[in-house]
């Protein structure tokens, strides 16, 4: 037979997957209840039943390089209805956890992000860099008088750290995405070139949170994710607008509270704070509905939370004029922000890259329902 396919079961991978949050994978008996109750899956080659048998057999190439694992939004409807407690949504989440490591270029950063032992080292880097920068900029002496963060860290110093960090994230993101994309082309049928309609469709779905809205079991996450998503979009825009103020208009921070850019930033921070608070509360109160929360989930969620809270506290301390609190908090805030930006393709933050890529790939290949 010329269409014989040789499967190479990888039992070590199955064991890894179980450790990464998919310990229920072997309970699946392929009844396909999951596909029937999933409102997010496409009809042709639907998920997650086929992923469950791939996972049981340790067919990691198929799992990692197929857009469907990323089209899953972990609604949990499959796990709710699963007659065996095989929890497909947790298994697919575990595959995604391992995917962050698999796609990562350079690979060691992916591994570090899945290992609690490496967490201190990952935080030590930005802490050391920012400490050196602070020594260079102000000899670690808190400026006298009115609190102005740009007198502690001049914008040029900030930019000389954060622009390279962002460029590093950008380049490694592109390399990691390329790995995913070429893998998907290798493994799934279709031409594999993105088309404009698919890009437009994916962006529209993401902005409207269309898939989240189709979830039933974990429906509340729609609200939480929407708040975080648009909160961070607002904060991202604020950061860029502040740079434009500085370099184009010569307007310096801190901006007045009534300034439109300041309003945008504050609104974004509050929305993101509300969203992350809600997500954390849900994960603690209703783990049956949110699914398992892995190490990567917690690291990402708590880093986000820490960045938002230190940001809000830094602004509050500045307005309350408490320099002893303001400058250390601001410093901590920058450490968390660095962590989020520089390590973007290696932490769970990267879900936005891979999910978007998978949605575009699927859309381009006629798999978007």
Partner 1 sequence: MATPAPKNPVVVIGGGIAGITAAVEAAECGANVILLEKRAHLGGRVARMHKYFPKLCAPYCGLELNFRRIRENPAIAVHTRAEVAEIKGQYGDFTVKVRLQPQMVNANCTACGKCAEVCPVERQDHYNYGMGTTKAIYMPHPMAFPQRYNISQKACIGKECGKCVQVCEYGAINLDARETVLELKAHSIVVATGWDPYNGAKLQGLSFGVSPNVISNVMMERLASPEGPAKGKLVRPSDGKEVRDVVFAQCAGSRDENHLPYCSSVCCLASLKQAAYVREAAPDAKIFIYYIDIRTPGKYERFYRKIAAEPNVTLIKGKIAKAEHDPETGGVIITAEDVLAGKKITRKTDLLVIATGMQPAAQNGVGGLKADENGFFTNAALARGIYAAGTARLPQDVSSSIMDATAAALKAVYGGRP
Residue 188 interacting with partner 1 (CB under 8 A): no
Closest CA to 183 of 367, 358, 5: 358
The least distance separating partner 1 from the CB of residue 44, rounded to whole angstroms, comes to 6
# of chain residues touching partner 1 (CB under 8 A)? 20
| Residues near 114 by beta carbon (within 8 Å), at least 6 away in sequence | 20, 97, 98, 100, 101, 295, 296
Q: Which is nearer to partner 1, 44 or 146 (CB)?
A: 44
Residue whose CB is less far from partner 1, 49 or 96: 49
Residue with tokens 């298994």: 91
From the CB of 287, what's the least distance to partner 1, in Å?
A: 17
Pick 83 or 164: Cβ nearer partner 1: 83
Three-class DSSP labels, 68-133: HHHHCCCCCHHHHHCCCCCCHHHHHHHHHHHHHHHHCCCHHHHHHHCCHHHHHHHHHHHHHHHHHH
Residues 53-82 that bind partner 1 (CB under 8 A): 81
At closest approach, how far in Å is the CB of 45 from partner 1? 5
Q: Are 71 and 358 in contact (CB under 8 A)?
A: yes
Contact 77, 217 (CB under 8 A): yes
Q: Give 48 or 345: the residue with its C-beta nearer to partner 1.
A: 48
Residues in region 22-41 near partner 1 by CB under 8 A: 29-33, 35-37, 41
Residue 67 vs 311, nearer CB to partner 1: 67
CB 46 → partner 1: shortest distance, Å?
Answer: 4
**Two tokens, residue 289:** 């509905």
The interface region with partner 1, picked from 42-50, 168-176, 196-204, 223-231 by CB under 8 A, is: 42-50
Q: Which of 49, 87, 282, 292 binds partner 1 (CB under 8 A)?
A: 49
Nearer to partner 1, 214 or 239 (CB): 214
Smallest distance, partner 1 to C-beta of residue 87, A = 12
Q: Among 83-91, 93-101, 153-161, 334-342, which window interacts with partner 1 (CB under 8 A)? A: 83-91
Residue 338 near residue 132, CB atoms below 8 Å: no
- Quick one: 219 or 246, whose CB is closer to partner 1? 219
Q: 361: helix, coil or strand? A: helix
Smaller CB separation from partner 1, 50 or 262: 50
For residue 223, the minimal CB distance to partner 1 (Å) is 24
Which of 23, 42, 219, 351: binder of partner 1 (CB under 8 A)?
A: 42
Report the sign of the C-alpha dihedral through residues 155, 304, 77, 226, in that order. Answer: negative
Smallest gap, in angstroms, from Cβ of residue 42 to partner 1?
8
Coil, helix or strand for 236?
helix
Q: Rounded to an integer, what distance in angstroms lies between the CA atom of residue 246 and that of residue 253?
A: 8
Report the nearest approach of partner 1 to the CB of residue 30 (Å): 7
Residue 26 carries which DSSP code?
Answer: G
Are the CB atoms for 350 and 344 separated by under 8 Å?
yes
Please give the residues from 288 up to 307 whose contact with partner 1 meets the rule CB under 8 A. none
> To which residue do tokens 């592109």 refer?
174
Half-sphere exposure at residue 202, Cβ-oriented, CA atoms within 13 angstroms:
25
In the complex, what is the shortest distance from the CB of residue 33 to partner 1, in angstroms, rounded to a whole number? 4
Compare residues 39 and 195 and give the one whose CB is closer to partner 1: 39
Check residue 83 for interaction with partner 1 (CB under 8 A): yes
Under 8 Å CB-to-CB from 283, ≥6 apart: which residues? 290, 293, 297, 301
Considering the complex, what minimum distance in angstroms separates the CB of residue 80 from partner 1? 9
Is the CB of 55 or the CB of 307 nearer to partner 1?
A: 55
Residue 178's H or E segment, with its range, is helix 155-187
Q: Decide: residue 221, CB within 10 A, 0-12 exposed, 13-18 middle, 19+ buried.
A: buried
**Judged by CB under 8 A, does residue 206 bind partner 1?**
no
Residues at the contact surface with partner 1, assessed by CB under 8 A: 29-33, 35-37, 41-46, 49-50, 81, 83-85
């Amino acid at each position: 037979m010329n269409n014989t396919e040789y499967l190479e079961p990888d039992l070590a991978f199955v064991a890894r997957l179980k450790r990464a949050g998919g310990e229920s994978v072997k309970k699946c008996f392929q009844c396909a209840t999951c596909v029937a109750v999933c409102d997010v899956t496409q009809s042709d080659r639907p998920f997650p039943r086929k992923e469950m048998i791939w996972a049981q057999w340790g067919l990691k190439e198929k799992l990692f390089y197929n857009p469907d694992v990323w089209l899953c939004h972990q609604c949990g409807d499959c796990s709710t209805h699963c007659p065996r407690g095989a929890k497909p949504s947790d298994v697919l989440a575990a595959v995604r956890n391992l995917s962050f490591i698999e796609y990562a270029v350079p690979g060691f950063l992916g591994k570090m992000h899945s290992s609690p032992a490496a967490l201190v080292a990952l935080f030590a880097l930005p802490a050391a860099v920012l400490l050196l920068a602070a020594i260079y900029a102000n000899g670690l002496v808190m400026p006298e008088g009115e609190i102005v963060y740009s007198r502690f860290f001049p914008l040029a110093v900030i930019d000389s750290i954060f622009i390279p960090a962002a460029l590093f994230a950008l380049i490694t993101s592109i390399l990691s995405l390329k790995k995913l994309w070429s893998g998907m082309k290798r493994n799934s049928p279709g031409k594999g070139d993105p088309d404009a309609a698919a890009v437009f469709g994916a962006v529209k779905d993401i902005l409207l949170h269309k898939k989240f809205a189709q979830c039933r079991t974990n429906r509340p996450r729609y609200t939480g994710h929407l708040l975080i998503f648009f909160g961070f979009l607002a904060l991202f825009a604020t950061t860029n607008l502040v740079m434009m103020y500085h370099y184009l208009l010569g307007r310096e921070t801190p901006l007045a509270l009534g300034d439109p850019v300041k309003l945008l930033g504050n609104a974004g921070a509050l929305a993101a704070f509300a969203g992350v608070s809600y997500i954390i509360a849900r994960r603690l109160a209703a783990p049956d509905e949110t699914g398992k929360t892995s190490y990567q989930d917690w690291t990402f969620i708590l880093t986000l939370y820490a960045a938002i809270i230190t940001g809000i506290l830094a602004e509050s301390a500045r307005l309350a004029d408490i320099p002893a609190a303001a400058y250390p908090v601001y410093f901590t805030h920058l450490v968390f922000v660095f962590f989020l930006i520089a390590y973007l393709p290696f932490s769970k933050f990267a879900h936005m890259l891979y999910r978007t890529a998978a949605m575009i790939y699927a859309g381009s290949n006629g798999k978007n329902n």
